A = this chain, B = another copy of it.
Amino acid sequence: MEGLLTRCTALPALATCSHQLLQYAPQRFHHCAPRRGKRLVLSRMFQPQKLREDQVLSLEGRSGDLTCKSQRLMLQVGLIHPASPGCYHLLPYTVRAMEKLVRVIDQEMQTIGGQKVNMPSLSPAELWRATNRWDSMGRELLRLRDRHGKEYCLGPTHEEAITALIASQKTLSYKQLPFLLYQVTRKFRDEPRPRFGLLRGREFYMKDMYTFDSSPEAAQLTYSLVCDAYSSLFNRLGLRCVKVQADVGSIGGTMSHEFQLPVDIGEDRLVLCPSCHFSANVETLDSSRTNCPACQGPLTETKGIEVGHTFYLGTKYSSIFNAQFINVHGKPSLAEMGCYGLGVTRILAAAIEVLSTEDCIRWPSLLAPYQVCLIPPKKGSKEEAAAELAGHLYDHITEVVPQLQGEVLLDDRTHLTIGNRLKDANKFGYPFVIIAAKRALEDPAHFEVWCQNTGEVVFLTREGVLELLSRVQVV
């Protein structure tokens, strides 16, 4: 037994991180959970920023165009950088926030039975001709030919691909259903007017889920489970979303809802009934209508950003591709489908849009790229002696609060005043900013802690800081 254990462990053993390398890279920036003494430092961050607004817009090639708060802030603090109209480089902070968002999405989708797949972007024209969308999608589809002249589009959505995949399974039984298959991948849409940064791009990340059920009733249950998972997701992010009845558009189907974040720059117009909770995208209503179709009460109007969209598709796609299963009577039957989208990069920008002030980014707590920014005193200042305490605090946090490993950033630009660095930290929106200044030299030392999402500032001892931070949820 002991021998077996040794041998079994020998295989996947080896070091979790190649620590032996660290000795050769003493001054390098360490980004993943660093070893004791290796600290994440701000001065080594790659964060293209300090763009003036005119530079920002000319980089996008549309100097006369409007911008919005989230786009401006994301460009200014180095979250994104324009590559071409509607296409952005996602910079390190954004990649971290997006990876956290994807983890939350994975949890919610897998809780209801979602299985993750990954389909190619190159989508053969014949699939799109079968559903007539090769023509009906018009100029929104980015199209290309390979070296053999074969036509493709860059998938803006994957109903055709997934339905053809399911149809290729000849022996599917009703016992295996439902299937809830989803992916998080780039999508491509040649928007007539890309704008607002990640809010309306031409290349963006989406979570798209496709569901296959054995009956309309089962498909309805799946539909409500997914809608509930979406609501749970937005709740966890602290975003107040409205679920409204929506138009099915080019996707089709018989029922559709949008998840909208109410905000002024939103491109959608929503009506809400304060008395009976009816809510709809105005697209779905007779344009002359001013009263609620459910209770006849007066409707209020607001604008919103669409962050999620659900469709009950029925057999629209399964009938075209012949996606069947063997039903309880042993007969082939068409699968009942739904499809469900979440704008991943759009949720990031929309969250920043609704949570931030004009000058300072605020993140949903779970998604903040780093949870804590630690500011030691200025070099040569009266408080300089507190620098060592700040370093020890850094090490203590990452030791005592394991979920914060890789989440604490040290603002080592000690040629700057604390005030200047605090201003930056405010702008970047770390949920917790901890300053080691005068009172860090008291006995016991006290640190100034800014809780950005509550707006509170408190002085805490090292133990107080650790207790506070131990309650931070990290995804």
Please give the residue numbers on chain A whose beta carbons come within 8 Å of chain B beta carbons, in ascending order. 1, 4-5, 7-9, 11-22, 24-25, 28-32, 43-46, 48, 50, 59, 81, 83-84, 87-92, 94-96, 98, 106-108, 110-124, 139, 142-144, 146-147, 150, 152, 154, 161, 165, 168-169, 171, 175-176, 178-179, 181, 183, 185-186, 188, 190, 192, 202-203, 221, 225, 228-229, 232-233, 235-236, 238, 365-366, 431, 451, 453-454, 456, 458, 460, 464, 467-468, 471-473
Contacts and interface: CB of A to CB of B under 8 A. Distances in A.
B147 A192 contact: yes
6 contacts: A8-B456, A30-B110, A83-B161, A89-B118, A122-B203, A144-B144
Contacts of A139: 147
A126 to B, nearest CB: 9
Given A44-B113, A113-B30, A114-B31, A232 B120 contact: no
Identical chains in the assembly: 2
A117 B90 contact: yes
Contacts of A25: 112-113, 225
A322 to B, nearest CB: 15
A28 B211 CA distance: 13
A318 to B, nearest CB: 15
Nearest to A35: B111
Query: Is chain A's binding surface mostly helix, strand, loop or mixed?
Result: mixed
Given A89-B119, A116-B92, A203-B120, A21 B107 contact: no
B121 A17 contact: no
Contacts of A171: 50
Contacts of A88: 120
Given A108-B18, A144-B144, A468-B4, A453 B113 contact: no
Contacts of A179: 46
B28 A112 contact: yes
Contacts of A454: 4, 7-8, 11
B31 A121 contact: no
B144 A117 contact: no
A363 to B, nearest CB: 10
